[in-house]
A and B are shown apart, each in its own frame.
Chain A
Amino acid sequence: MATLTVARLRKRFANVEVLKGIDLAAAHGEFVALVGPSGCGKSTLLAMIAGLESVSEGEIRIDGRLVNAVAPKDRDIAMVFQSYALYPTMTARQNMTFGMESRGVPRAEQEAAIKRVAALLQIEQLLHRKPGQLSGGQRQRVAMGRALVRDPKLFLFDEPLSNLDAKLRVDMRTEIKKLHHKVGKTTIYVTHDQIEAMTLATRIAVMHQGQLQQFDEPAVVYGQPANMFVAGFMGSPSMNFIPAALSEAEGVATVEMALFGGGVARLPLPFRPARAPAGNRVVLGVRPEHMFRYADDLKLRKPAIATFEAPVEVVEPTGAETIAVLKLGERDVTGRFDPDGAPRLGEHMKIGVDMANVCLFDPSDETLIPRAAN
C-alpha cells in the first residue's frame, strides 16, 4: 500500500506565490498526471513531493506519514528526470546500483535487483555502457531502471518524454503504460502534454497559475471540464467557445447563437442546465470532433443533433481527418471531419452538432454550468 495526500499546499519564492493551496490525493497503485502549461507550478509540486523543495505551508503525506521535513532519501521515492540525470562517469549498471550502495544494500540483493529490472526493461546488453554511449531512448530506459531497482513506494516522473523525438515518445508512452500495469506502483507524472496525461493517467490534475483547476478521471476532465481553461487546455485542436444566449422553446432549453452574415441558429439541448447565468448569457463549448457534415441519417445515429450553416474558410487535411475552419458570427470555429465528405473551401456547409456532448460555461467566471439531474 502506498498513498499520497497533499493538503492545502503552498509554495512561496520570496514574494511570489507559485502554489496557492493544492489538494491532491493518489490512491494505492494510481497513476496521477499533473498537467498544465509551463509555469503552472506542476514541476514545483513534484519537487516538493520529492523533498527537493521545501514546503511553505500545508502538508504532504506518503502512506499517511507526514513527510514535510523528511529528507528526499528517507521518503522512499524514486524519480525520473526530464534530463534523465544519469551520472555521466558511471556505467548503466553503476547508475542503477548507486542508490542501493548509498543505502548499504547487500551485493547479492543488488545483483538480483539489477537482473530483474534489466530483464523487465530489456537493457541487459546496455549495462556496461556509459550514458554518453546510449541513445535517447536507451537513456530513458536506464533512468527508469534506476528508479525501478529500488522498489520505492512512490514513482515520480518529471516530463520524462519531452526530450525524445515524436515517434519514440509515442513508443515510450506505451512502454510506461505497460510498465505501470506490470509494477502497479503509485505514480505521479508531470507533463505539459495533454495527450500523455489522457493516455496514461487514471486521474488527471490540471493546474494553472499555481491552482488546481480540476482533479478527476480523464473522461470527466475531457467531457465535463470544470472551467474554460481546462476545456481549452485538454484536447487538440482546442474546444470552440461560442458566445450564445440561453432560451426556452416549447419546453426545451435552447442555445441561440449568431450566424455569419446575420441570422440566428437555435440549437436545442438534450439536457437542462442546473442554473441560468446572469442575463442568460452563456458560452457554448463545442469540441471539433462533435461537428459533422449534416446528412439525414446522422439524426438516426446521434439523436441530439442540431444544425446550423456556416461558410468554410480554411481546409487542412491531415490524412486521417480533415480540420476545417468555419465562420460563425464574428469568430472562427474549428471542426474535425471525416476525409470522406470533407468540407471544401468556400462551401456554405450545413453542420450537425452533437448537442449531447457540448458544454455550457458561465461567461462571468468561466466555470462549467453543470447539467441538471433529470
Chain B
Amino acid sequence: MVDAAYEAEYLAAARTEARRYALGRIGVYAFLTVFAIIYLLPLFVVIANSFRQLPEITRNGLIAFPRSFSLEAWPRAWSHFCVGGACEGIHRNFYNSLLMTIPATIISSLLGALNGYVLSKWRFRGSEVLFVCMMLGVFMPGQIALMPWAFVLGHLHISNTLQGLVLIHCVQGLSFTTLFCRNYYISIPDDLVKAARIDGAGFWRIFYKIILPLSPPILIVTVIWQFTGIWNEYLFGVVFTDGAQQPITAALVALATSQMNAHAYDVTGAAVLIGAAPPLLIYFLGGKYFVRGLTQGAVK
C-alpha cells in the first residue's frame, strides 16, 4: 500500500517497455517480410506464367495477376517445344543434366573424402603445401580453366560429351570437397586411427570402417554443394556441348535466346521450373542437415 505510488510508476515503466518491444517486433517482421517478398516474387511470376495461357500473357503483360489457367505449357516444354530446329522439348537435356550431375557429385564427394582423409590423418612431408595448392582451386573462377579444358577434352576425344563435363566438374569441384572433408576430419581424434592401426586395420579399412561411418554430416554438405553447383553451372555446358548433348542450363539459355517470333513465356516458365526443380528438391530434403553439417566442428 505504501508502495502504491512506486508500483504505479513501475507498472507504467513496464508498459512502455512492453509497447516498445512490440513495436520493435512488428518492425522486424515487416522488414523481413518485405525482403521475403522481394525474393519470392520472381518465383511467383514464373510459376504463375507457366500456368497461364500465352495470349493472356501477351495481352496483360508478363508481370500481372493470372486470369487464365492452362496446363499446356508443361508437356510442351518437356517434350514438344522446338529449339533450334529440334522439336523435342527439354526432356533430353534434363536427363543429360542428371547423367552429368549424379556421377560427378558422387565421384567428387568420394574423392574429396579420400583426399581429406589423407590430408588430415596420413600427413606426410609437404602435405600442407599440397593442401594449400588445392585450396587455390576454391578461389579460381571457372572461366580461367576454359582454354586448358578445351585442350584436355580435345586430346582425350571427349569434347561435346557428357563424360567430358563429368570430368570437368569432378576436377573443378575437388577443391571444395577436399576442403570440407579435410576440415571435418581434423576434428576426428587421431587416437582413433592409431587404435585402428594397432588393431591391425590398414589405410582402406580405417577409411571405410571408421572414417566413412563418421562422415554423413559432411558428405551431406558436399553432396548438396556439388549437386546444386554442378546442376546450375552452365558456362562449361554452353562452351563444350551443343544440341542434344547440352545440360539443361545450357538448353535454357538456348531456349531463351533462340525464339524468332513471339516469345513463349508460358513454355519458358515451365522449362525454367523443370530446370530448377532438382536442386530445390535436394535442398528441401537436405537443407536442415546442410546447415547442421556446415556448422559442425566449429562448435565443439
| Residue ranges of A at the interface with B (Cβ–Cβ < 8 Å) | 47, 50-52, 71-73, 77-79, 81-83, 85, 87-90, 98-99, 102-103, 146
B241 to chain A, nearest CB (A): 42
Whether B198 contacts A50 by the Cβ 8 Å rule is yes
The B37-85 residues at the A interface (CB cut-off 8 A) are none
Name the 7 nearest CB pairs between A and B, nearest first. A99-B199, A102-B200, A85-B191, A89-B213, A73-B200, A85-B195, A81-B191
**Which of A72, A85, A102 is in CB contact (< 8 Å) with B192?**
A85
Q: A51-B198, A52-B198, A73-B199 are in contact. List 8 more A-B contacts (CB 8 A).
A: A73-B197, A73-B200, A81-B194, A83-B189, A83-B191, A85-B192, A102-B199, A102-B200
CA distance A102 to B214 in the complex (A): 19
A8 to chain B, nearest CB (A): 25
Whether A98 contacts B191 by the Cβ 8 Å rule is no
Q: A residues within 8 A CB of B191?
A: 81-83, 85
Known A52-B194, A83-B189, A83-B191; contact A88-B214, beta-carbon cutoff 8 A: yes
The B164-190 residues at the A interface (CB cut-off 8 A) are 189
Q: A residues within 8 A CB of B214?
A: 88-89
Q: Is B277 an interface residue (CB 8 A)?
A: no
Whether A79 contacts B195 by the Cβ 8 Å rule is yes
Whether B198 contacts A73 by the Cβ 8 Å rule is yes
Q: B residues within 8 A CB of A83?
A: 189, 191
Q: B residues within 8 A CB of A47?
A: 194
Q: A residues within 8 A CB of B209?
A: 87, 98
Q: B residues within 8 A CB of A77?
A: 198
B193 to chain A, nearest CB (A): 9
* 25 interchain pairs, CB-CB under 8 A: A52-B197, A71-B197, A72-B197, A72-B198, A73-B197, A73-B201, A77-B198, A78-B198, A79-B195, A79-B198, A81-B195, A85-B189, A85-B191, A85-B195, A87-B192, A87-B195, A88-B214, A89-B214, A98-B201, A99-B199, A99-B201, A102-B200, A102-B201, A102-B205, A103-B200
CA distance A286 to B54 in the complex (A): 102
- Chain B: which residue is nearest A47 at the CB level? B194
Q: B residues within 8 A CB of A72?
A: 194, 197-198
Q: B residues within 8 A CB of A102?
A: 199-201, 205
CA distance A50 to B198 in the complex (A): 8
B97 to chain A, nearest CB (A): 34
Q: Is B238 an interface residue (CB 8 A)?
A: no
Known A81-B191, A102-B205; contact A87-B198, beta-carbon cutoff 8 A: no
A134 to chain B, nearest CB (A): 16
CA distance A102 to B210 in the complex (A): 13
- Chain A: which residue is nearest B192 at the CB level? A85
B218 to chain A, nearest CB (A): 14
Q: A residues within 8 A CB of B150?
A: none
The B207-223 residues at the A interface (CB cut-off 8 A) are 209-210, 213-214
Q: A residues within 8 A CB of B197?
A: 51-52, 71-73
Q: Is B196 an interface residue (CB 8 A)?
A: yes
B187 to chain A, nearest CB (A): 12
Q: A residues within 8 A CB of B199?
A: 73, 98-99, 102, 146
- Among B194, B199, B213, find the residue whose CB has the most chain A CB atoms closer than 10 A: B199
CA distance A134 to B162 in the complex (A): 50
- Chain B: which residue is nearest A53 at the CB level? B194
Q: B residues within 8 A CB of A98?
A: 196, 199, 201, 209
B273 to chain A, nearest CB (A): 40
Q: B residues within 8 A CB of A87?
A: 192, 195-196, 209-210
CA distance A87 to B199 in the complex (A): 11
- Among A85, A90, A103, find the residue whose CB has the most chain B CB atoms closer than 10 A: A85
Q: B residues within 8 A CB of A78?
A: 198
Q: A residues within 8 A CB of B201?
A: 73, 98-99, 102
A51 to chain B, nearest CB (A): 8
Q: A residues within 8 A CB of B195?
A: 79, 81, 85, 87, 146
B147 to chain A, nearest CB (A): 42
- Chain B: which residue is nearest A77 at the CB level? B198
A109 to chain B, nearest CB (A): 15
Q: B residues within 8 A CB of A73?
A: 197-201
- Chain B: which residue is nearest A80 at the CB level? B195
Q: A residues within 8 A CB of B189?
A: 83, 85
Q: B residues within 8 A CB of A82?
A: 191
CA distance A102 to B197 in the complex (A): 10
CA distance A102 to B195 in the complex (A): 12
Known A98-B209, A102-B205; contact A85-B194, beta-carbon cutoff 8 A: yes
- Chain B: which residue is nearest A89 at the CB level? B213
- Chain A: which residue is nearest B193 at the CB level? A85
